[in-house]
Structure 1
Amino acid sequence: MNLQKKSFHLPYLGCDLAEAQGLPYDTLVGPFGEPTVGLEIRNLPLQWCCNSNSYSSYHRVLLQICQILGEGYTIQKLDVFTKKTFNAAPRESAIEKKYDAHFSGRAYKELRTFLLFSPLLSATKRKGINLSEATASLTPLKEKFSKIYLLLDSVGAHPKYLRLKDYENYLALLFQGKETSTPVKENILSGPEFLQVGEMLLKTVSLVDLEELSIPVDVSPSASDGKNLGAAVDPFSFLFDLKESPLIVYNQILRIPLQSKLHRELERKKKRHEGVSSSAPSNLLVAREIESLLEEVAREGSLLVEGHFSVLYSAEDKLSQEKIQGSLETGFFRRGIVLSKNAYNQMELFRSFFPGGAVELKSYDFFLSPLEPMLCFLFKEHLPENESRGFALDFTSREGIPLRIDPSDIPMQTGRISNRNKFVLGPSGSGKSFLMNSLVEQYLRYNYDVVIVDTGDSYQGLTRYKEGRYIQYSEKDPITMNPFQLSKEELGIEKMEFLSSLIYLIWQGQEKEMSPSEKSVLDSLLLCYYELYFLKKEGIENYPVEKRTGLYQKYLPYASALSSKGSIRKNNIGGRSLHTGSSTSYYEVLGIESTLPIKEIRQHGKRLQGEMQQGGLVDTPEVLSEALTVLSNYTTKRAYDKTLVSSREKIAASLPHLKQKDPVTAEEKFQNLLFHLAPEALCFDSFYKFSEHFLPVFLNGGQLPISEASFNQSTFFLVLRDFCSGGKYGETLNRPQEKSLFEEQLIVFEIDAIKDNPKLFPIVTLIIMDTFIQKMRYRKGRRKALIIEEAWKAIASKLMGGYILYLYKTVRKFYGEAIVVTQELQDILSNPVVKDSILSNSDTLVLLDQSKFQENYQSVASLLNLNAVEQSKIFTMNRLDNKEGRERFKEFYLKRGDSGEVYGNEVSLMQYLLYTTEKPEKEALEFYYENAGSLNEGLERFLLDHKSLGLSLSEMVSLVNLLKRPLKSSDALNFQNIKKEYPTIDPWELLRKELAQ
C-alpha cells in the first residue's frame, strides 16, 4: 500500500512571551494571527461532593465568564485525564516505608483543567493573515482576561497563567498519547477511525451529530448517580472510570457569535422554512422551533452560542480501544447522548484539541443553543488533593491513592473548626479500631502525647511497637493515683470541681445529681481541708495579724469541739458511743423529726435500712441499726433526748465565753486544732480522717444547721471507707502514679477488667482523665490527645457533665484534643451529656459505615447536624466500584466544621498486623515474637515468610497456630501438597491427624 507522507506543522505563527509584553502570561499566535491566552484552573466541585448547589454555583461562574467575554470570542475548556503511577518520595521510618511500598506502582488518574480564550474568526478572516487586526484584538482580550482571572481567583478556582512551557508540555502529551518523562517525536498515521502515534492509538469522538442530533431535552449542571440516595455528580463523571486509557481529553468549545447578525440569519432561515411549509410540514416545525428559540433568548436575555464537544482518548492496542469506546458510548448513552458516527475526519478533530484549536473545525462540527443549557455540557469536577506538607495524616482517595489530610491545623487556621476535639461513631466491624490505630500511630510521628482509655485490647500491638506504656487494671496491680496531692498553685476552681465530683461519684454513684446543699458542703469541706494543710505546713505565725484573727474566728467552733486528746467529743449512754465519731443526731441519721412516734420511727428505720442494703451503698449499716435500737425504746430515747438538750445548752454557753477570752487562748486553741485536725499529708486517707472530725461540727455548728436529709453523713462515711487504706479499694486513691508516666509519649489504660463494676469503672475512668489533664499542663509545647473508647459511658452522667465540659474547653488551650469513640447508635440518641458536653464541643465528626442505620437515620442526622447533602456523602461509603486491585480497606466520613469528605483507610500488611484485634492473628504473631526475641524482628520475619511461602494470611495464621511455632518452607510445601492431593478433603483435618501421629 502506497502511503502519502506529509510534514506535520503546528497551527501557530509563534508565541509572544510574557517578558516582551510585560504580562504574566505568554500569548499563542494562531495561523491567522489570532491571539490565544490561557489559564490552568481547578474546577470548583469536589468529586463526590454530592451537592447539586456546588455544580449550580460553578455553572453560574462559567456563565459570568461568558458574559465578561461577550460576543465575538471563543472559549475552549480542556479537561485532561492522565493515567499515572504512584511513587512516593522517600521517607525515614519503617512503617512509612511499608505504607509507601504498599501503594507503589498503583495506577491512578490525574485531572488538569485549562481555559483558553481567543477572538472569534469569521470565514472571511480565515483567508489570510492580518497581524495589525490581530494586534488590535489583543487589547480588549487582555482586559477581559484580567477580569476573568480575578473572578476565578475570588471563587477559589486557583487560576494560574499559562506560559510557553505549559503549552509545549500539553502538546507533547497529546502527541505521545500518554504521560512520559522523555517525550519522543513519533510519526502519525492518520486513518478514518483513529490516529496511530508510535505504538499508541488516538481516537476522537464527537458528542453531537448534526444529521442525527441525539441529546437530552432537559439538561442540568449536575445529575444523579442513580444510587447512594441519588448523590449529585457531574453528568460526565464516568470519564474518571475509564482506567484503561492512558490519556483522555474532553474538549469543550463555545463560540459566541455577533448576536444581531445571528438573529438576522435565524429570522431569514425561519422565513425560508415558512415559505415552503406547504410542500413539507416539517419546514413549519423548523420555523416554529426557530421562533420559539428567538422568543426564549429575548425573554431570558440570554446569549446564543455555538458549541462543540468531543473526547480524545488513547489506547495501547485495538482491543483496549474497542473496550474504551464501548465504555464511552455506554456512559454518554446513560446521559441521553448518542455519540456521532461521523468521525472520519480524525486529523481535523485531533487538531481541534490544540490550544486555540476551534479554527480547525467546520460549521457542521457545532450546534446552536442558548448559553445556559450549553454550559451544562462543561465538565465541572476536580479530584481531591494533598492538603498540607506540614501536619498531615496518610489516608486515601476514593480511588485508592494516598492523600495527605490535615485534620486540624489548616481547618483551625481557616476557621473551618474552632477546636480539635473529635467524636467517632462506627458500628462493630466498620473498621473503627483500624482507623483509630492508624490515627494514633500517625499522631506519634509528630509532637504528640497520647493517652488512651480502652476496654478491648485494641491498641496492644501498636503500643508494643511504639514502646509505649500499656497499663492493665487488675486487683493485684490496680490503676491508682493520688488526686488530693496538689501544690498551692494547682489548687484552682477546676481542681476543686473535679475533687467534689469524684467524692460524690464514690458516695452516690454516677446516676444521681449533686444537690446545691451537697455541693456546698463538699466544697467547704475540701476548702478547709487544704487551707488547714497549708496553714500547718507554712506556719500560722507567718500570716499577718488580720489574717490570723479571721482564721481564729472561722475555725473557733471546731477548735472548741476538739477534746484535749484531739478528737471530737462524743455523747455516751450506758458506756456506748452514740455518734461513732460524729456529732450527727440519730434523728438525722434516720432523716426524721424528733417528734415522730416510736412506732413510726421503727417502721421508717427498717424501711430505710432495707433500701440502703438493696441499693448496695452500705456494707454494714451499724449506725442505722444503733439509731433504730436507741430511738425504738422509750427509756433509751428519753435519755438520748436529754443529752441532746444538754449538748445544745453547753455549745450555746461556750461560744460567747470563748469569744471574750484573750486572743492568746484562741491562738492556743487554733494551734491545737492544727496539730490534731490538719492533715500531715494529702491523700484520700487524710481527707477521710479530716472529714470524720470536721464534718459533724460543720453540719451542726452553724447558724443554719444542715439536716441529715440534706446531707446524709452516715452513708457518706460508710461508703467512702471502702477507699481508705485497708479497704476494698484502698490503693486506688492513695497510691500516687509513677512520675515517669508524665514523660511517656503513648499511654494506654486497659480497663476491660472493671467495665462491669458500676462503682469502680467511672472512678478509674475519671482519674485517668485527670491524669491526662495533669500531663497536659506538665508537657508544655507538645500536642496532646485523650482518646476515650467505650469507657466514656462510665462518665457520661449529669454529675460529670460539667467536668467533661471543662475538659473539652480546656484542652484547646494546651494544644490538645479529646476524642470519644463509640459504636452504639443508641448511646448518642439517649444520652444528654453526649449532646450537651461532647458533641457540642467536638467540631470534627468521624463516621464509619452507617448503612445499618439508614432506615432510621433522621434522629441521628438531626443530632449530628447532618443535612441531606452530608447524608448522601455518608451513604456512599464502601458502596463505590473501587475495590479492584486493592487490599482490604474501609472508608470513613470526616466532617470538619459544617461539611465533610469521605476517605479510605487502607494500610500495609505490617500496619494491619500491628492493628489487628483478631485473636488467632495475635496468637500467631506471638509465636514469631517469642522466637525472634523482639517484636520488630518477629514482625519482619512474619512478613518475609508471608511473601515467600505463597500462603494467604488466613492460611499462614492457621498453620502457625496449629504448629505453635514459626513456619518453615517445608511446612508450607506440605500444606500445598495436601491441598493438591486431596482437593475434596479439609486439609486442616488431615494436618491435625498427621500431627497427632
Structure 2
Amino acid sequence: MRNVSKITTLESKFPLLAVENNCIISKDADITACFEVHLPELFTVASVEYEAIHAAWHKAIKTLPDYTVIHKQDWYLKENYAPDLGQEDQSFLAKSYQRHFNERPFLNHYCYLFLTKTTKERMRMQSNFSSLCKGTLIPKEIRDRDTIHRFMESVAQFERIVNDSGFITIKRLTEDNIVGTVESQGLLEQYLTLSKDAGIPMQDISLGAEEVRIGNNRLCMHTLSDTDDLPGTVSANSRFEKLSTDRSDCRLSFAAPAGLLLSCNHIYNQYLFLDNSEANLQKFEKSARNMHSLARYSRANQINKEWIEKYLNEAHSFGLSSIRAHFNIMAWSDDPVELKQIKNDCGSALALMECKPRHNTTDVATLYWAGMPGNAGDFPSEESFYTFIEPALCFFSEETNYQNSPSHFGIKLSDRLTGRPIHVDISDLPMKKGIITNRNKFLIGPSGSGKSFVSNHLQRQYYEQEAHILLVDTGNSYQGLCNLINSKTKGEDGIYFTYTEENPIAFNPFYTDDLVFDIEKRESIKTLIMTLWKRDDEPPTRSEEVALSNAVSGYIEIIKQADSSPSFNGFYEYVGSDYRMILEEKKVREKDFDIANFLNVLEPYYKGGEYDYLLNSDQQLDLLSKRFIVFEIDAIKDHKTLFPVVTIIIMEVFINKMRRLKGIRKVILIEEAWKAIAKAGMAEYIKYLYKTVRKFFGEAIVVTQEVDDIIQSEIVKESIINNSDCKILLDQRKYMNKFDDIQKMLGLTDKEKAQVLSINMNNDRSRNYKEVWIGLGGTHSAVYATEVSTEEYLAYTTEEVEKMEVMQLADELDGNVELAIKHIASQRRDQDNQ
C-alpha cells in the first residue's frame, strides 16, 4: 500500500535563511529586526498615559518605510512559581512563605516586536503563495543595498522614539537570543515548540486543513481579519468595571481581554502592514467611482460607495496613512476538553472587546507559519483589512504582569491578579533612581484592613536583611514576631518592653557597654533630666542649662574612671555631694541654679522614691547592638510622668543607633503611639527624626488608622506626610465620602486615587489575602496583595485567642515559639485537607 501522507522535513520548508548582524534574513530576502518589549505593569497606567503610549507607537511607526510589516507578538504562558529554598540563611518564616507559594500557577507574559522589510509583491501574496505551498525554497539575492541601509536607519529611529516615551522600552535582540545557545532557548525554537523551557526537543508539526498540531498541542485560532468583525468605535484604553467605582476609573488597554485577562496558554499576534498609502487611496478612489456607476443596480453598491468615500474623507481630511491590519489569538492545549473551554474563552475575550469572534479553521496553518519570527512576509493578504494607523494601534496590548525588582534588597508581596510572589524594592532602588528623596513611609489603614499584617510582614523581612528595627506600639501588634525572634536568638534579640505593675519598664540612661558618651548621648541625658525637672510651660534659664550640662559631664567623667556601676542614683548622689561642693567653690548663686530645688524635684526617681525603678535598671542592657526592639506603651500613654520619660528614652535609643551604626539600615516604626507622643510635647523629636533619618541610611515609618488624624494634626501634615516619599494605604472604601480630603492632604493624583479605591474590589475568593497600595514619590504606584503562610499568620496575628494558643504551647515546649507555630500550622493544614 502506497503512503499518501504529505510528510516533509522542516529544513526543506523552513522559510528563514540566516541570522546576520542580529537580523533575520528569509529565503525571500525579507529582513527582520527583532526586539524584546517591556510594557508597563497591569493596573498602573492612567488614561492619559495610555494616550501617550498610543501616540509614541504612532510617531515611531510613521518613520518606517513603505512595505514594512510591524508584527507585535505577545506570549502568555502558564507557569508555576518555583520557590527558592536552597538558601542556607533563610529563616523559618521565609521558608514557610516560599513553601506556601510552591507551584502557584500564574500567567507569565513575554512581548516581542518584529519589524520586517519586504517587497510590494510579497505584501500582496495570498495564502496559496505561502512558502508552505512551494516545493524547494531557493534563496533570493538582496539586490537593493540602499533600501536595506535606509530601513536599518529607520529602525534605529523607531527604537529611539519608543524608548524616549518613558512608558515602553524596547531592546534589540542578539543572534543568541534569536537562535539560542546551549543553555537557553532561542525565539525560533520557542515558537516551533510553543515553550520557553530550555532543552525541549523538537516534535512533529502537523499543518493540516482540519487541525494544526505542534507535538501533542492542538491549536485553535480566533482572527480579526474583516471590518465586519470589528466594533463601531475603538479607543486607546477602556474602563475595567471590576475595579472601578462611581468615583474612580480603573483603566486597561482596549486589547487587555486578549492579554493577561485571558488565562490560558496563548499568543496574541498584532500585525500592521505599511503599504504605499497613496497607491491605496488611489485604488479606493477608482473603486468608489465603479461603485457609483453601479449604484443604481444594487443598494449594496450604494452603501459600499458611501463607506469608501467616508474612508477617503477621513484620510484626506486628517492626513491619515492607509494601512492594512490583522489580529489573532492563537491558543493551544494537549487536552481536548480543555481546548474546547479555551475556544470559548478566546471567543469571550474578543466579545469583551465588542468584536465578533471568528474561529478560523481555514488559514490556521498559514497564519501559524507567518507568525514565525522573521516570516511576516509570508502573511496571507486576504486575512487583513484596511484601516488607519491610529485605530489599528488600539488593538495593541499595552500592559504586562507585575515584574520583580532587580534590586538585591526588597520585600515579597504578591501579584494581585494571580498571587505570584513579587520581589519589590520600595526603599533603595527608588532612592537610587531619584523617584524618592527619602525612605520614610506613612501607612494608613482602618481597623481590620490588614494593617498589622502589612507592617509585620515588612519588618520581618527588613530584620532578615540585617536592619536594626525599633517599634513603638500601643496594641501588642508585634508581640508574636518579637517572641519568635527572642526564642530563636535565645534572648539575645527580640527585646520586648511593656509596662505592668509586676514588671514595669525600667532603663539606665547612663549605661553603655563601651563607655562611649558622644554628643548625642550626652544631649539625650540632659533632655531627659530637663524633662523630669521642668514643666512644659517652664523653660530653663541659660545658667540652669549650663549647670545641668556640667553636672552630667562631671558624672560621666566619674563613670569612666571608677569601677562602680552607673545609674541615676549615682548621678543624684553626685549632684548632692561632689557637684554641690563644686558650685559652692564657683560661688554659683541660688537664683542661677537652685540645687536644693533640683534635688527635691528629682527625688521621686531616686532610690526609695515612687519611680525609683524607672531609671535605675540593673539589667545593664545596651540596646545599640539589639536589632529588633519593641516598646509597647499602651498602659502608660496617658501617664503624665512616665510617658515623657519613656518616649525620650525610646528616641535616644534610636538616635544613638542612627548616629553610631555606620552603613547599617535602621528603621523606626511608630504605631498609633505618635498621637500620644505629639500630645506630650514630643513633636520636635518627630520633626527632627523625619528630616534627619535619611542622612543616616535610616527610615521612619508612622502607622495610623483614623483618617481624621491625618487631616487634623499639624504634626502629620508638616512633618510626616511632607517627608514621607513612600505612602502605603489599605482599604479606604469606608472613607469614600471623605476621600477627596485625604487625596488632597496626601497629594494623590487621580490615577493613584483610582488605584486606592480599587483595593479588595475583585479579590480571588480561593485565596486568603488583603490588598495594599504603595505609592512612591507621586510617580510610581501599584496595588499588591499581602498573602502570607499559615506560619506567618500565627506569628503576626493580633487575635488574643490565637496568640495565647501559640504562647501556651510554646511554654509546654520549653519556650520554643518556632516549634509551637510549626505544630499549630501543621494541625490547621491537616484540618483544611480533610
Q: Is the 8 A contact 1:41 1:159 kept in 2?
A: yes
- Assess, with a 3 A threshold, how the Cα gap between structure 1 residues 218 and 444 changes in structure 2: closer, same or farther: closer
- Assess, with a 3 A threshold, how the Cα gap between structure 1 residues 877 and 124 changes in structure 2: closer, same or farther: closer
- Alpha-carbon separation, structure 2, partners of 1:200 and 1:303: 39
Alignment of 1:397 onto 2:403: no
How much has 1:8 moved relative to structure 2? 5.7
Alignment of 1:492-641 (within 5 A): 499=526, 503=530, 508=535, 518-519=538-539, 521=541, 524-531=543-550, 534=553
- Alpha-carbon separation, structure 1, partners of 2:709 and 2:525: 24
Question: Match of 1:478?
Answer: 504
Question: Match of 2:684?
Answer: 802
- Alpha-carbon separation, structure 2, partners of 1:175 and 1:680: 79
How much has 1:782 moved relative to structure 2? 1.7
Q: Given the alignment, which residue of 758, 768, 773 partners 1:893?
A: 773
Alignment of 1:845 onto 2:734: no
Q: Given the alignment, which residue of 761, 769, 778 partners 2:660?
A: 778
Q: Is the 8 A contact 1:255 1:306 kept in 2?
A: yes
- Alpha-carbon separation, structure 2, partners of 1:752 and 1:400: 36
Which letter maps to 1:33?
A
For 2:761, what is the secondary structure of its paired residue?
A: coil
Which letter maps to 2:427?
S
Question: Match of 1:602?
Answer: none
Deviates more, 1:195-204 or 1:855-864: 195-204
Q: Given the alignment, which residue of 173, 181, 203 partners 1:161?
A: 173
Which letter maps to 2:394?
C
How much has 1:250 moved relative to structure 2? 0.7
Q: Is the 8 A contact 1:469 1:748 kept in 2?
A: yes
How much has 1:475 moved relative to structure 2? 3.5
Alignment of 1:145 onto 2:164: no
Question: Match of 1:7?
Answer: 8
Which letter maps to 1:893?
W
Q: Is the 8 A contact 1:501 1:799 kept in 2?
A: no
For 1:91, what is the secondary structure of its paired residue?
A: coil
How much has 1:221 moved relative to structure 2? 4.0
- Assess, with a 3 A threshold, how the Cα gap between structure 1 residues 534 and 944 changes in structure 2: closer, same or farther: closer
Larger relative helix fraction: 1
Which letter maps to 2:172?
K
Question: Match of 1:311?
Answer: 329
Question: Match of 2:802?
Answer: 921
Residues 185-205 of structure 1: per-residue CA shift (max 9 Å, x gap): 333444556423333221111
- Assess, with a 3 A threshold, how the Cα gap between structure 1 residues 265 and 687 changes in structure 2: closer, same or farther: farther
Question: Match of 2:787?
Answer: 906
Question: Match of 1:32?
Answer: 28
How much has 1:285 moved relative to structure 2? 3.6
Which letter maps to 2:33?
V
How much has 1:441 moved relative to structure 2? 1.5
- Assess, with a 3 A threshold, how the Cα gap between structure 1 residues 731 and 121 changes in structure 2: closer, same or farther: same
- Assess, with a 3 A threshold, how the Cα gap between structure 1 residues 918 and 123 changes in structure 2: closer, same or farther: same
- Alpha-carbon separation, structure 2, partners of 1:715 and 1:858: 54
Q: Is the 8 A contact 2:69 2:273 kept in 1?
A: yes
How much has 1:160 moved relative to structure 2? 3.3
Question: Match of 2:41?
Answer: 46
- Alpha-carbon separation, structure 2, partners of 1:64 and 1:437: 47
| RMSD after superposition | 3.7
The count of residues paired between Structure 1 and Structure 2 equals: 785
Q: Given the alignment, which residue of 207, 215, 232 partners 1:216?
A: 232
Q: Is the 8 A contact 2:521 2:656 kept in 1?
A: no
Q: Is the 8 A contact 2:551 2:575 kept in 1?
A: no
Q: Given the alignment, which residue of 447, 459, 463 partners 1:428?
A: 447
Residues 448-476 of structure 1: per-residue CA shift (max 9 Å, x gap): 11111122222222222222112222244
Which letter maps to 2:233?
V
- Assess, with a 3 A threshold, how the Cα gap between structure 1 residues 194 and 49 changes in structure 2: closer, same or farther: farther
- Alpha-carbon separation, structure 2, partners of 1:237 and 1:865: 29
How much has 1:410 moved relative to structure 2? 0.7
- Alpha-carbon separation, structure 2, partners of 1:105 and 1:536: 63
Q: Is the 8 A contact 1:507 1:715 kept in 2?
A: no
For 2:760, what is the secondary structure of its paired residue?
A: coil
How much has 1:67 moved relative to structure 2? 1.2
Q: Is the 8 A contact 2:572 2:599 kept in 1?
A: no
TM-score, normalised to structure 2, is: 0.85
Q: Is the 8 A contact 1:454 1:789 kept in 2?
A: yes
Question: Match of 1:836?
Answer: 718
Q: Is the 8 A contact 2:637 2:643 kept in 1?
A: yes
Q: Is the 8 A contact 1:84 1:108 kept in 2?
A: yes
- Alpha-carbon separation, structure 1, partners of 2:826 and 2:551: 65
For 2:111, what is the secondary structure of its paired residue?
A: strand
Question: Match of 1:466?
Answer: 485
Deviates more, 1:839-848 or 1:232-241: 232-241
Q: Is the 8 A contact 1:472 1:479 kept in 2?
A: yes
- Alpha-carbon separation, structure 1, partners of 2:647 and 2:570: 21
How much has 1:879 moved relative to structure 2? 2.1
Q: Is the 8 A contact 1:39 1:114 kept in 2?
A: yes
The structure with the larger Rg is 1
How much has 1:422 moved relative to structure 2? 1.1
- Alpha-carbon separation, structure 2, partners of 1:533 and 1:520: 16
Residues 929-951 of structure 1: per-residue CA shift (max 9 Å, x gap): 2333222333334444445xx32
TM-score, normalised to structure 1, is: 0.72
- Assess, with a 3 A threshold, how the Cα gap between structure 1 residues 236 and 536 changes in structure 2: closer, same or farther: closer
Q: Percent identity?
A: 27
Deviates more, 1:813-822 or 1:172-181: 172-181
- Assess, with a 3 A threshold, how the Cα gap between structure 1 residues 369 and 484 changes in structure 2: closer, same or farther: same
Q: Given the alignment, which residue of 67, 75, 78 partners 1:80?
A: 75
- Alpha-carbon separation, structure 1, partners of 2:238 and 2:100: 35
Question: Match of 1:406?
Answer: 425
- Assess, with a 3 A threshold, how the Cα gap between structure 1 residues 699 and 192 changes in structure 2: closer, same or farther: farther
How much has 1:258 moved relative to structure 2? 1.0
For 1:951, what is the secondary structure of its paired residue?
A: helix
Which letter maps to 1:63?
H
Structure 1 segments unaligned to the other structure (5+ residues): 540-678, 707-711, 954-975, 977-997
Question: Match of 2:490?
Answer: none
- Alpha-carbon separation, structure 1, partners of 2:341 and 2:325: 28
For 1:900, what is the secondary structure of its paired residue?
A: strand
Which letter maps to 2:142?
S
- Assess, with a 3 A threshold, how the Cα gap between structure 1 residues 372 and 730 changes in structure 2: closer, same or farther: same
How much has 1:50 moved relative to structure 2? 4.0
- Assess, with a 3 A threshold, how the Cα gap between structure 1 residues 107 and 491 changes in structure 2: closer, same or farther: closer
- Alpha-carbon separation, structure 1, partners of 2:576 and 2:293: 109
Alignment of 1:434-449 (within 5 A): 434-449=453-468
- Alpha-carbon separation, structure 1, partners of 2:452 and 2:807: 20
- Alpha-carbon separation, structure 1, partners of 2:626 and 2:719: 28
How much has 1:342 moved relative to structure 2? 4.8
- Alpha-carbon separation, structure 2, partners of 1:218 and 1:325: 24
- Assess, with a 3 A threshold, how the Cα gap between structure 1 residues 122 and 382 changes in structure 2: closer, same or farther: same
Which letter maps to 1:205?
H
Alignment of 1:818 onto 2:700: yes
- Alpha-carbon separation, structure 2, partners of 1:382 and 1:686: 69
Q: Is the 8 A contact 2:510 2:568 kept in 1?
A: no
Structure 2 segments unaligned to the other structure (5+ residues): 130-137, 181-185, 487-493, 559-566
Q: Given the alignment, which residue of 251, 275, 278 partners 1:257?
A: 275
For 1:123, what is the secondary structure of its paired residue?
A: helix
Question: Match of 1:71?
Answer: 66
For 1:849, what is the secondary structure of its paired residue?
A: coil
- Alpha-carbon separation, structure 1, partners of 2:635 and 2:83: 43
- Assess, with a 3 A threshold, how the Cα gap between structure 1 residues 122 and 739 changes in structure 2: closer, same or farther: same
How much has 1:496 moved relative to structure 2? 5.2
Question: Match of 1:266?
Answer: 284
Which letter maps to 2:789?
S
Question: Match of 2:119?
Answer: 121
How much has 1:731 moved relative to structure 2? 3.4
Question: Match of 1:768?
Answer: 650
For 1:423, what is the secondary structure of its paired residue?
A: strand
How much has 1:15 moved relative to structure 2? 4.2
Alignment of 1:651-670 (within 5 A): none
Alignment of 1:450 onto 2:450: no
Q: Is the 8 A contact 2:636 2:643 kept in 1?
A: yes
- Assess, with a 3 A threshold, how the Cα gap between structure 1 residues 107 and 237 changes in structure 2: closer, same or farther: same
Which letter maps to 1:394?
K
- Alpha-carbon separation, structure 1, partners of 2:36 and 2:301: 45
